[in-house]
Structure 1
Amino acid sequence: MTFSARRIFAILQKDYKDLSRNLYVTTTLFMPLLMAALFGRMGMGTISSYYIVINMGFILVATYVQSALIAEEKEKNTLRGLMLSPASTMEIFCGKSLLSFIATAVVVTGSILLSNYNPRNMAVIAIALLLSAVFYVGLGTLIGLFTKSVMEASVVIVPVMLIFTSGSLLIPLIEKYPVLAVVEYMPNLQLLELADRVETGAGLGDTLLHLLVILAWVLVIHAVAAYVYKKRMVDE
Structure 2
Amino acid sequence: MNISMTRIQAILMKDYKEFSRNYAVSVMVLLPLIMAFFFNKTGGNNINTYLLTVNMAFSMVTTYVQCCLIAEEKEKNTLRSLMLSPASLGDILIGKSLFVFILTMVIVALTIFIVGYSPANIFILAIALILSTVFYIAIGTLCGLFAKTVMEGSLIILPVILIFTFGSFALTLSSAFPILKIAEWLPSSQLILLAEALEGSYTTMDVIIPMATIIVWSLVTWITAGFIYKTDCNIKCNTQKSI
Q: State the TM-score bracket (shorter-chain normalisation).
A: over 0.9
Give the deviation of 1:12 after TM superposition: 0.4
The match for 2:41 is: 41
- The CA deviation at 1:204 is 5.4
Q: Provide the C-alpha distance between the structure 2 equivalents of 1:192 and 1:3, rounded to a whole number of angstroms.
A: 35
Map of 2:31 onto structure 1: 31
Contact preservation (8 Å) 1:170, 1:183: yes
1:19 correspondence with 2:19: yes
Q: Does 1:210 align with 2:216?
A: no
Distance 1:99 1:2 in 2: 20
Quote the residue 2:240 is aligned against: none
Shift, 1:202, TM fit: 2.2
Equivalent-residue separation in structure 2 for 1:201 and 1:30 (angstroms): 35
- Partner residue of 1:67? 67
How far does residue 95 in structure 1 lie from its aligned partner after superposition? 0.1
Please tell me whether the aligned partners of residues 100 and 137 of structure 1 are also in contact (alpha carbons under 8 angstroms). yes
Q: Is the 1:124–1:203 Cα contact (8 Å) retained in structure 2?
A: no
Q: Deviations over 1:155-194 (max 9, x none)?
A: 1222211111111222133344433332211100011111
Distance 1:23 1:141 in 2: 20
Q: Is the 8 A contact 1:36 1:111 kept in 2?
A: yes
Q: What CA distance in whole angstroms lies between the structure 1 residues aligned with 2:20 and 2:165?
A: 27
1:188-225 per-position Cα deviation (integer Å, ceiling 9, x unaligned): 00111111111113265531111011111111110110
Higher alpha-carbon deviation: 200-209 or 124-133: 200-209
Alignment-derived partner of residue 6 in structure 1: 6
- Check conservation: 1:120, 1:201, Cα contact below 8 A: no
- Counterpart CA distance in 2 for 1:96 and 1:104 is 13
Report the equivalent of 2:109: 109
In the TM superposition, what are the counterparts of 1:48-87 in structure 2 within 5 Å? 48-87=48-87
Report SS of the residue matched to 2:165: helix
Corresponding residue SS for 1:206: helix
Q: For residues 204 and 149 of structure 2, what CA distance do their matches in structure 1 show?
A: 41
The answer on whether the counterparts of 2:2 and 2:90 sit within 8 Å (CA) in structure 1 is no
Taking the aligned partners of 1:154 and 1:211, their CA distance within structure 2 comes to 29
**Partner residue in 1 for 2:129:** 129
Does the 8 Å contact 1:121/1:203 carry over to 2?
no
CA contact (8 A) 2:128 2:191 kept: yes
User: 1:115, 1:175 → 2: CA distance?
Assistant: 30
The number of aligned residues is: 236
> How far apart in 2 are the matches of 1:38 and 1:201?
30
TM-score for the superposition, normalised by structure 1: 0.96
Describe the superposition over 1:134-169 as per-residue Cα deviations: whole angstroms up to 9, x where unpaired: 100000000000001111111122221111111122
Distance 1:57 1:177 in 2: 28
> Do the aligned partners of residues 43 and 141 (structure 1) sit closer, same or farther apart at CA in structure 2, a change above 3 Å counting?
same
Contact kept, 8 Å, 2:168 with 2:186, in 1: the verdict is no
On the 8 A contact 2:65/2:140 being kept in 1, the answer is: yes
Q: Residue type matched to 2:45 in 1?
A: G
After superposition, the CA RMSD in angstroms is 1.3
- Secondary structure, counterpart of 1:207 in structure 2: helix
Give the superposition deviation at 1:25.
Answer: 0.4
Report the residue type matching 1:54 in the other structure: V
Is 1:83–1:233's contact at 8 Å kept on the other side of the alignment? Answer: yes
Structure 2: distance between partners of 1:2 and 1:219: 20
Uncovered stretches (5+) of structure 2, i.e. residues with no partner: 237-243
Q: Deviations over 1:17-55 (max 9, x none)?
A: 111110110100111111111211222111111111101
Paired position in structure 2 for 1:220: 220
